């Protein structure tokens, strides 16, 4: 994502925190909820303008969060660790299963600049013309636009929860001028919200975005610090291909050693070295089939 950077709002070590009146205020009136969601989204817009934020990594981790929420809404039991396994331990010829496919869909939607063509590649089986028609259903302010797209998709495809939420986030990104879709709505909406209409749905979207943006800002701050540390220790790595490996860690939620551009032994040693340096974490708690991430 590319934004103008308002340098007076940033320093070398931190990104701005959400004001406490956004994170701690509990309101019920429609106007107040809309005001808080607008304030939260405006703040996120500034955070995403910070050049130090590892944007691809933030989006990939938010995609995992969105997929986990969608899988739970569908009644399945898989959670983040199982979704990571389903995708990152996938061998050639294997199928990821329904939950893994949901995660892959979110990852594909968030990894490319948002467009009808890129969304068509992410949403297998959905025609680009239909995607364009659904996105055109959104009009007005950003959250209202996202809610209208969400309602249009759910009206035409009542079982298309994942598609609806992805396109609603795409509409939000387009409204803000973001280059990429940022997975936000799925983690905040409830199952009943997806069947709401009109003002009720817009209110649900405002509420969902307040909680999701709070988490996205917190995550952005955490991953910015972690990414800075990884970049700082990178010169200590001597393995051939270590630079490319570091870039993978800076853009992906999780990485299997076998995916790194090194031999199996060298990849495992590099991962162990990065863990010792506090630059990455082992995510599974297992002795085998491990995954690592910032």
pLDDT in tens, 197-226: 999 999 999 999 999 999 999 999 999 999
Rg value, the chain, Cα: 19
Q: Does this model's pTM top 0.75?
A: yes
Alpha-carbon gap, residue 52 to 227, rounded angstroms:
9
Alpha-carbon gap, residue 288 to 294, rounded angstroms:
19
* The pLDDT value given to residue 2: 36
* The pLDDT value given to residue 12: 41
Two tokens, residue 278: 């506090």
* The pLDDT value given to residue 247: 97
Q: Where are the alpha helices (DSSP H) in 128-263?
A: 128-136, 142-156, 161-176, 198-233, 242-249
* Residues lower than pLDDT 50 in the chain: 1-12
Strands 281-282 and 292-293: antiparallel
Place of tokens 């199982």: 82
**What is the distance, to the nearest Å, from the Cα of residue 134 to the centroid of all Cα atoms in its chain?**
21
185, 208 contact by CB (below 8 A): yes
Phi, psi at 106, each rounded to 5°: -65, -40
* The pLDDT value given to residue 75: 93
């Amino acid at each position: 994502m590319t934004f103008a950077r308002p340098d007076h709002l940033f320093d070398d070590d931190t990104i701005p925190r959400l004001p406490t009146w956004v994170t701690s205020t509990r309101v019920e009136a429609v106007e107040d909820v809309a005001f808080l969601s607008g304030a939260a989204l405006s703040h996120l817009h500034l955070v995403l303008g910070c050049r130090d934020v590892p944007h691809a990594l933030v989006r990939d981790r938010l995609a995992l969060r969105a997929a986990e929420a969608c899988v739970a809404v569908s009644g399945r039991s898989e959670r983040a660790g199982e979704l990571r396994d389903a995708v990152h331990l996938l061998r050639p010829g294997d199928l990821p299963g329904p939950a893994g496919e949901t995660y892959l869909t979110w990852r594909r939607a968030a990894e490319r600049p948002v467009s009808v063509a890129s969304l068509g590649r992410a949403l297998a089986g959905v025609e680009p013309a239909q995607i364009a028609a659904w996105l055109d259903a959104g009009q007005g302010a950003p959250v209202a636009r996202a809610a209208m797209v969400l309602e249009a998709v759910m009206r035409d495809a009542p079982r298309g929860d994942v598609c609806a939420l992805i396109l609603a986030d795409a509409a939000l990104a387009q409204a803000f001028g973001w280059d990429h879709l940022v997975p936000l709505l799925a983690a905040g909406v409830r199952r009943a919200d997806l069947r709401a209409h009109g003002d009720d749905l817009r209110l649900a979207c405002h509420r969902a975005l307040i909680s999701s943006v709070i988490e996205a800002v917190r995550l952005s701050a955490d991953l910015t610090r972690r990414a800075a540390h990884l970049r700082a220790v990178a010169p200590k790595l001597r393995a051939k291909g270590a630079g490319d490996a570091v870039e993978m860690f800076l853009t992906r939620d999780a990485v299997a050693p076998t995916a790194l551009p090194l031999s199996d032994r060298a990849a495992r040693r590099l991962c162990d070295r990065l863990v010792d340096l506090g630059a990455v974490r082992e995510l599974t708690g297992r002795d085998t089939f491990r995954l690592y991430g910032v």
